[in-house]
Structure 1
């Protein structure tokens, strides 16, 4: 009697045959890594997914065997500067596999690191266009940086090496300058970083403190580690901040969207500290320069006035009647003590006084 049903194993075998016959070779698949677990035995188990409109529309289990995983992960890290991790969009070369016990699995044979970098760049360009269309990219450029920023809000991870470098540089500056800095902690790496930085910027604004500027810093990293600084959420929050934002993310070559949205950017947290110290050092030098000029100008003025006084004194002394008398002249005074300037003012019998350098003589006119 012919069976009217299939055994489960028979059904599974049919599915396996049909699936592996339909996809006999390798297939290139674009997907997001939604879960990744590298086991101690060297194999790596992943979950690949696809989302549309914020909703997962497809999901598949995947595995990368030990010998392939060692090569794939090393190559990806070398090219991108970052390890494969959850949240990344990848282009994987896979084989379709079906097990009667474990079901459908994609066996990963290779992952293209250049594709992941390209996806990031495409997303970056789209973010730039959006910021430009919304008028956000140049908002910070309209804010005026104080000539000597003193009260500064710092956004960074408390344990970040770049933040520690910044603090050490500021606190040990050779001039002894002191600044009022306050840390607003935020994640500066990973998928949470954009919203975390945006929340920190909101906290700065809500503090009610009139900061001179905000400094966003991180101590470098790979291209994918720094990809969070190309996200719209972070850039838009920077653009809308009411205080000038200065970035020091820690990269030497790349120019991130966060840098473009900021009022000013420098390469590293240490460069941020140098920029701040140099501002004060330049002002200190200017004050010393103008103090010297003022002191010299004041001294020159005093010297000029002293010379003028000396000259006037010489003229006064030269015109002093006592000095004239010393040269052999006498001064004639009438009875009232007035100086007689002409002989015609006297009559016979008038009493007069004759002044000499060493005394006076009374006489009478004949």
Structure 2
């Protein structure tokens, strides 16, 4: 039997190691997306970096930030971006490519460019806006009607979110005694899983038996990159096509996210949003009070006009009272049947007439007519 040439595994791995070190003798900058990140108790941070396109993940590699560098690098990134390294972020990292006979290829990260991550999120935001505009979804929510007195409110938020608590306390504690029905649909409100979680919550709202007046997206603010999920195309398209008015209040004072743009309306904070609903009821209460005042005034004016009419008729009746005429020296003449005689025509001698005075009546016989 012919003996085949072969390499043992260790030799193969050493050849690969030698080839990698020869091909990448110095550090280089690599653009990638963080697929996962895990900080270990020993202080090291391990990441899975990947590259995706329309078909899915096309490249993946393990990376590490060693303990000696991680704390400084993590603090630097957090100060620049307002958040820590997390899955879903696009990053530009400086790496040393190495190959280990036991663990394979590893990228050792010793620097990161936070400006790149911020810029990538801004570019993603612009791409989302352009696509929504092309599909005619940017103003779709604005075409919906909003109830005069919104009562039943579906809230999408995390139950532990400070923004949700602020909203409920402010709404329920209004000094006017207005009452609202609020139902929470829990969702993840930041990070790579947030868009899918919020979309699922929107679906649950739409399929619920309760007929809601509006859907509210609430969270209590956070770092800019923590809120990047609200620029996600899938989430923004789901908001735009929701059959109910969607109002966002994600608690960010400095920026305006795509979710805010496509929603029916938006408020900067959950507390400000609670004021919107209280103001709706205040405006309607004032309108009703205005109607009440106008109705009372109209009623008073109508009664006054009717009283004036009654007084006029009373004066006319009194002026036409025969007793008034008789008291001024006039007399009334009637025939024996009581019918008033207005002229001498038709009266013949011998007829009996009654002549009425203010103080009495005389019965007379006609002797002659001239």
Of 30, 54, 61, 1:59 maps to 61
User: Does the 8 Å CA contact 1:48/1:62 hold for their aligned counterparts?
Assistant: no
Q: How many aligned positions are there?
A: 362
Partners of 1:351 and 1:9 in 2: CA distance = 156
Corresponding residue SS for 1:118: helix
The answer for the alignment partner of 1:261 in structure 2 is 262
The answer for the alignment partner of 2:271 in structure 1 is 270
> How far apart are 1:30 and its partner, in Å?
1.4
> How far apart are 1:331 and its partner, in Å?
1.5
Partners of 1:8 and 1:141 in 2: CA distance = 64
Q: Tell me whether 280-289 or 249-258 shows the greater mean CA deviation.
A: 249-258
Q: Tell me whether 110-119 or 7-16 shows the greater mean CA deviation.
A: 7-16
Partners of 1:6 and 1:196 in 2: CA distance = 50
Cα RMSD (Å): 2.7
The answer for the alignment partner of 1:199 in structure 2 is 200
> How far apart are 1:317 and its partner, in Å?
0.5
Partners of 1:9 and 1:131 in 2: CA distance = 54
Structure 2: runs of 5 or more not aligned: 1-5
The answer for the alignment partner of 1:176 in structure 2 is 177
User: Does the 8 Å CA contact 1:151/1:212 hold for their aligned counterparts?
Assistant: yes
> How far apart are 1:49 and its partner, in Å?
3.2
The answer for the alignment partner of 2:3 in structure 1 is none
1:99-138 alignment, distance < 5 Å? 104-138=105-139
User: Does the 8 Å CA contact 1:51/1:58 hold for their aligned counterparts?
Assistant: no
Corresponding residue SS for 1:221: coil
The answer for the alignment partner of 2:365 in structure 1 is 364
TM-score by length of 1: 0.88
Partners of 1:236 and 1:55 in 2: CA distance = 23
Question: Cα deviation per residue 1:288-327 (whole Å; 9 max; x = unaligned)?
Answer: 1121112101211210121122012101111111111122
User: Does the 8 Å CA contact 1:43/1:63 hold for their aligned counterparts?
Assistant: yes
Question: Cα deviation per residue 1:196-253 (whole Å; 9 max; x = unaligned)?
Answer: 1111111122224332222222221111111111112211211221222222222123
Partners of 1:65 and 1:107 in 2: CA distance = 11
Partners of 1:352 and 1:182 in 2: CA distance = 93
> How far apart are 1:330 and its partner, in Å?
2.0
User: Does the 8 Å CA contact 2:61/2:106 hold for their aligned counterparts?
Assistant: no
> How far apart are 1:112 and its partner, in Å?
0.9
1:230-245 alignment, distance < 5 Å? 230-245=231-246
Q: Tell me whether 289-298 or 21-30 shows the greater mean CA deviation.
A: 21-30
The answer for the alignment partner of 2:228 in structure 1 is 227
User: Does the 8 Å CA contact 1:80/1:224 hold for their aligned counterparts?
Assistant: yes
Residues 270 and 27 (structure 1 numbering): CA distance in 2 closer, same or farther, change over 3 Å?
same
Q: Tell me whether 166-175 or 204-213 shows the greater mean CA deviation.
A: 204-213
> How far apart are 1:189 and its partner, in Å?
1.5
